[in-house]
Amino acid sequence: MKVLGIETSCDESGIAVYDSDHGLLADALYSQVELHQKYGGVVPELASRDHIRKTLPLIKKVLEKAGLELGDINGLAYTAGPGLAGALLVGASIGRSLGMALDIPTVGVHHMEGHLLAPLLEDNAPEFPFLALLVSGGHTQLVEVPVLGQYNLIGESLDDAAGEAFDKVAKMLGLNYPGGPLVAKLAEQGNPGRFKFPRPMTNRPGLDFSFSGLKTFTLNTVEDHKVDGVIDEQCKADIAWAFQEAVADTMVIKCRRAFQHSGMKRLVIAGGVSANIRLREKLAAMAKEEGGELYYPGLAYCTDNGAMIAYAGCMRLLAGQQDDLAILAKPRWNMETLPALTNS
Ligand code: KG4
Ligand code: ZN
């Protein structure tokens, strides 16, 4: 089955074709980062309008790359949520209409399921069951995944998502949007150990996270080290290092706990922040200590992309799931309500 995937939930238009027999055939991404950069974050209305401009040309490009015609596609998957309502509506309208015009089964995919399953596109794919740490711009969640399609939430952030915290710290340090990769790059120049930031919510039981206190701690450190309103570059790098280290250590502590509570041995990390090399290193070391293994998507498939939606959609369509003619756009959508897929 060849499935066309359409992702437009935020500031990236991502298109891909996934073939259940031959894997990923082609994909393409258009990032709106430059459009939003001058506003310091995503402007929803601008995002929707740009998805309208870019989605159809990208679909044509991906079909060409794959050497396919529209008529060769036999399944359609689009991101139905969660995300920005207007942005979702663009992909959903195009996806559902194409599905109807081509008379092929169509499914609205949960964006976080897409992220979570992205490591299954890799050669070294995890088997079920596994634990998943989903860390993106909008979510920080620990999920137990007993079988394909069933997601039991065992921990989440009570306030900011990890990616959001990275983006806000980037702003404090005068870096551009999206800040995560830039904070990570700056941290490479940082002196380890100059600052020690708190590891929030780690000295009490439970698997929930909180990043707003760490964010305030970071802001106070920035303010305390300004001289005549300016902070020097080395100090910025030292702060970036301490912040990244605190986030990574916090995740290591919670994931170790989740390993020990669940008895599972496989941990998947996915979502934009899973591109963070320091986080990967630390989680991989912890997983090894616990006798387990860490799995993650290739760097290009950590942040939003069409391949993860085509793949997740393909799994659901193969299991016989498909939607009626409604155009689904659910800005808020709980993953735990998704139907498990029985053919896993
Ligand atoms: O998954 P994603 O592309 O979009 C959402 O679904 O939200 O994640 C974007 C987030 C942004 O907050 C970005 O700053 C963060 O992922 N991010 C990173 C890195 N690369 C992207 N955060 C830390 N380190 C990175 N290398
Ligand atoms: Zn995402």
* pLDDT tens figures, 265-274: 999 999 999 9
pLDDT, average across residues 145-163 = 97
Q: Answer yes or no: is pLDDT of 220 > 80.
A: yes
What is the pLDDT, as a whole number, of residue 344? 46
Q: Is the CB of 178 under 6 A from ligand 1?
A: yes
Q: Answer yes or no: is pLDDT of 343 > 70.
A: no
What is the pLDDT, as a whole number, of residue 111? 98
Q: Is the CB of 272 under 6 A from ligand 1?
A: yes
pLDDT, average across residues 66-95 = 98
Give CA 135 to chain center in angstroms.
6
User: In the chain, what's the furthest Cα-to-Cα distance?
Assistant: 66
Q: Is the CB of 133 under 6 A from ligand 1?
A: no
pLDDT, average across residues 209-221 = 97
pLDDT, average across residues 42-52 = 98
Mean pLDDT of the chain: 97
Q: DSSP 3-state assignment of 202?
A: coil
What is the pLDDT, as a whole number, of residue 342? 72
What is the pLDDT, as a whole number, of residue 215? 97
How many Å apart are CA 80 and CA 261, to the nearest integer?
A: 33
Query: What sign has the CA pseudo-torsion 18, 22, 26, 29?
Result: positive
Query: Is residue 81 left, alpha or beta, with left meaning phi > 0 and alpha meaning psi from -120 to 50?
Result: left
Q: Whose CA is nearest to atom 23 of ligand 1?
A: 180
Query: What sign has the CA pseudo-torsion 205, 210, 211, 213?
Result: negative
pLDDT, average across residues 308-324 = 98
- Please choose, from the candidates 339, 309, 343, 323, the residue with its C-alpha nearest in 3D space to the C-alpha of residue 104: 323
How many Å apart are CA 239 and CA 186, to the nearest integer?
A: 9
pLDDT, average across residues 232-257 = 98
Q: DSSP 3-state assignment of 27?
A: strand
Q: Answer yes or no: is pLDDT of 337 > 70.
A: yes
Structure tokens of 244? 């990244």
**For residues 101 and 131, is the Cβ–Cβ distance under 8 A?**
no
pLDDT, average across residues 299-316 = 98
Q: Per-residue confidence at 8, pLDDT binned at 50, 70, 90?
A: very high
pLDDT, average across residues 21-40 = 97
pLDDT, average across residues 6-14 = 98
User: What type of residue is 52?
Assistant: I
Q: Which of 88, 182, 273 to mutate to test the pocket of ligand 1 (most atoms within 8 A of CB)?
A: 273
For the entire predicted model, the pTM comes to 0.97
Interval between CA 270 and ligand 1 midpoint (Å): 10
pLDDT, average across residues 12-28 = 98
How many Å apart are CA 322 and CA 77, to the nearest integer?
A: 9
pLDDT, average across residues 143-148 = 97
